[in-house]
Chain A
Amino acid sequence: MSGQDIPDGVDEETVTRMMRRVLEAEKDKLHMGNPIGINDDIESIIEDEIK
């Protein structure tokens, strides 16, 4: 899957929002050496935004 182009059917606003949510999720678990559950958090964000 090309990471270079914004995917069809996804708008810039959604991407910006997703990026912000992903970074917030990472920030919340930054203090953990091993951020348990972060993969699930990120997948939840993706599945919530891309339906």
Chain B
Amino acid sequence: MELIALKLKNFRQFYGEQSVHFSTDQDQNVTVIHGSNGSGKTTLLNAFTWLFYDNISLPKPDQLVSERAVAEVNSGDSVTVSVSLEFEHEGTEYEATRIKEFAKREGISAVEQSSEIRLEFTDEHGNLKTRSNPGTMLNQIMPERLKEIFFFDGETIDELSAIDGQEKIQEAIRNIMGLSILERSTRHLEHAVGKYEQIAQEQGSEELSNLISEKQDITQQITTKEDTLESHRQSKSETEDEVSDIEDRLSQLEGSRELQIERDNLKEELTDVDSDIEATNDDIAREISERGFLPFAMPAVEETGKMLQKKREKGEIPSDIKTHFVDDLLELKECICGRPLKKGTNPYEEVKGWRERAGSTEIEETAMSIVGRLSELGGDQEKLYSEIERHLSRRAQKADKKQEIQERLDEISSQLSDEEQESIADLESRRRDLLGKIGEYDEKIRNLEAKIEELKDKRKALEDEIAEAKEENEKAQLARKRAQTAAYLQSQISTLFQQYQDEVRQNVNERVNEIFQDIIAKNYYAKISDDYTLQILKDVGETSEIPVAQSQGERQVASLSFIATLISLARERYESDEDATYFKGGIYPMIMDSPFGSLDPTYQERVSRMLPEMAQQVVVMVTQSQWSEAVANEMEHVAGERYYLDYHDPGEESGTNYEYTDLVRKTGGDY
């Protein structure tokens, strides 16, 4: 979506017709609107949301009409309020207009008489046409649930990074990156599967009906158990976090620091030892897989070797005469001594009889090579035994080491529990309790996983039975086919969703962090956690990361980075050749009231440097204090259009008792 122009008529404090033309220059893609506090910056932002969604977030939201416009007409006369936006979207030019007519009552009060939303566009032949579903279309272009992403107030945008911002972040990622389409599809297809199975059941035989019932019952059990499993996993994860917090705390307390550090190191070592043991087990398994047959085969091998050797010793292999030599003589019909060999004659039969004791060249060569190989196998068997012995010895060493480490860990735990300092002992005691709980969760999880696997196997068997069930009823057959197809589509889309979700999360994380680190001065980084919390973290040691105590400014930068990430990723996808119905991407502008919010001068400068790169089109509304010298230096050369909000105080303006604001285009000089 590329913004072209916004026109206001009698909208709030904007008296009469006012307009803004947005910069569409690629190199000077920023439109700057200057205005002091109260001059109408937030109202201008709300003009967009009122147009798109008939929704504003301002004091006295019902008072849409310009007070001055109402004051100037007689009682009963009407006043028109409208907001229009010209824009381009996916190659088509549109003009969206929301109009409301108000009738004046007394003073400056007015009541709404009519309301209309229009969306006109120019078709490929240059004709002006009107969309029949303007509200729907506008919502598709700029979904209302994402309005805080595209039209935002810089002073409250830090809420995205706040603890309860997860839902908005999840919504934004899923919606803009196409995940919602995939996720919804799988749910709705599930509904279709259920419906067609129901029909198949109703139309089908009793046998089929019972099988389907049984399958539905098992599916329900699986769902319930999976919910419980997820709950246990969540609880386990929370408990592990609590253990981790306790260990962090212990590493900070003087009485326990050293022991906790030693414990941390030992746990790492234990992980390495476990990995070694696992690797050794794999080596043993591989040896057995490749050469494990040898001990069982050796008796037969030895006997075969002896048999072949005997034949050699007797001269049976290699034989004196080869079969092909005998065959050649019979074919030539002449012996080597010159005697003719006619079929049926004694010489012929005698020579033919030599075949009995002649040897095949191929067989003899093979036999000789077998003899050679058989003698090597004996060596291979020795090698197998020595390798397995070596692995077992190594594994035993590692097992001893593991035991040693575990004993030391137990010792440390006992020492901490005996610690005189009460808080340390309490912490260690709590830690042990929590580890016990984790153990319980592990067992419950294992049991549930096994049970779920069992139920899934049962369900698969039922599905196979259902598929095979002979069904003569055509309607049932058709319903079953439709259910199978819906289920297949669901599984395909679900797989796609899982793969794509991981890819999206990684892409979003990388880009958010990239932008965040370009702005932030400290050694922090931004990350979106698995539960969609926008976190700011710092590294502790080589492997740990902890959330920082975020300032409002840092949260604001993180939120801005997140928004810029989505807009840039959507744009990249739109401009790429990749074809995916669920995510074609799009071009979105960034429209910000007070983008610098509560940022200090250093961050204001850095943000202003990054802003033009964050979206194809950027619209910022700033106060004079926010337009510092540093910001002006960064933004003046990229500001393709500049306006200021000329506020008129009723006390100062002659001829009117009502406040109003003019939108004035800036054509040069300082603001």
How far, in angstroms, from A25 to B192 measured CA to CA in the complex?
14
Residue numbers in A under 8 Å from B486 (CB-CB): 42, 46
Residue numbers in B under 8 Å from A31 (CB-CB): 136, 139-140, 143-145
Q: Which of B140, B182, B195 is the one whose CB lies under 8 Å from A43?
A: B195
**Which of A18, A22, A27 neighbours the largest number of chain B CB atoms within 10 Å of its CB?**
A22
How far, in angstroms, from A10 to B486 measured CA to CA in the complex?
11
Q: Mark B124-167, 1 if CB is under 8 A from A, else 0.
A: 00000000000010011001110000000000000000000000
Main SS of chain B's interface residues? Answer: helix
Is A18's CB under 8 angstroms from B485's CB?
yes
Residue numbers in B under 8 Å from A27 (CB-CB): 181, 581-582
How far, in angstroms, from A8 to B484 measured CA to CA in the complex?
9
Q: Which of A15, A30, A32, A39 is the one whose CB lies under 8 Å from B191?
A: A39
Beta-carbon nearest neighbor of A9 in chain B: B481
How far, in angstroms, from A20 to B488 measured CA to CA in the complex?
14
Is A1's CB under 8 angstroms from B145's CB?
no
Is B145's CB under 8 angstroms from A4's CB?
no
| A31-B136, A31-B144, A43-B192 as given contacts; A50 in contact with B481, CB under 8 Å | yes
Interface residues in A1-51 (C-beta closer than 8 Å to B)? 1-10, 15, 18-20, 22-24, 26-28, 30-33, 35, 38-39, 42-43, 46-47, 49-51
Is B482's CB under 8 angstroms from A35's CB?
no
| A2-B484, A7-B481, A50-B485 as given contacts; A35 in contact with B184, CB under 8 Å | yes
Residue numbers in B under 8 Å from A15 (CB-CB): 485, 488-489, 492
Residue numbers in A under 8 Å from B466 (CB-CB): 1
Q: Which of B143, B180, B197, B492 is the one whose CB lies under 8 Å from A19?
A: B492
How far, in angstroms, from A45 to B467 measured CA to CA in the complex?
23
Residue numbers in A under 8 Å from B180 (CB-CB): 30
A35 to nearest B CB, angstroms? 7
How far, in angstroms, from A20 to B496 measured CA to CA in the complex?
13
How far, in angstroms, from A33 to B486 measured CA to CA in the complex?
23
Residue numbers in A under 8 Å from B481 (CB-CB): 7-10, 50
Is B482's CB under 8 angstroms from A6's CB?
no
| A2-B467, A31-B139, A50-B481 as given contacts; A42 in contact with B192, CB under 8 Å | yes
Is A1's CB under 8 angstroms from B463's CB?
yes
A1 to nearest B CB, angstroms? 4
Q: Which of A2, A22, A38, A47 is the one whose CB lies under 8 Å from B460?
A: A2
Is A46's CB under 8 angstroms from B482's CB?
yes
How far, in angstroms, from A28 to B478 measured CA to CA in the complex?
28
A30 to nearest B CB, angstroms? 6
How far, in angstroms, from A38 to B341 measured CA to CA in the complex?
92
Is A3's CB under 8 angstroms from B491's CB?
yes
Beta-carbon nearest neighbor of B492 in chain A: A19
Is A24's CB under 8 angstroms from B192's CB?
no
B24 contacts A by Cβ under 8 Å: no
Q: Which of A7, A23, A39 is the one whose CB lies under 8 Å from B581?
A: A23
Q: Which of B192, B463, B464 is the one whose CB lies under 8 Å from A39?
A: B192
Is A1's CB under 8 angstroms from B487's CB?
yes
| A9-B481, A31-B144 as given contacts; A2 in contact with B489, CB under 8 Å | no
Beta-carbon nearest neighbor of A27 in chain B: B181
B467 to nearest A CB, angstroms? 7
B566 contacts A by Cβ under 8 Å: no
Q: Mark B56-89, 1 if CB is under 8 A from A, else 0.
A: 0000000000000000000000000000000000
Is A30's CB under 8 angstroms from B488's CB?
no
Residue numbers in A under 8 Å from B192 (CB-CB): 39, 42-43, 46
Residue numbers in A under 8 Å from B489 (CB-CB): 15, 18-19, 22
Supply 6 A–B pairs (Cβ within 8 Å), ascending by A. A1-B483, A1-B484, A2-B467, A23-B181, A42-B189, A46-B196
Of all A-B residue pairs in the complex, the 7 with the closest CB atoms, nearest first, are A3-B491, A3-B487, A31-B139, A7-B484, A23-B581, A1-B484, A1-B487
Which residues of B line the A interface, CB within 8 A? 136, 139-140, 143-145, 175, 180-182, 184-185, 188-189, 191-193, 195-197, 460, 463-464, 466-467, 478, 480-493, 581-582
Which residues of A line the B interface, CB within 8 A? 1-10, 15, 18-20, 22-24, 26-28, 30-33, 35, 38-39, 42-43, 46-47, 49-51
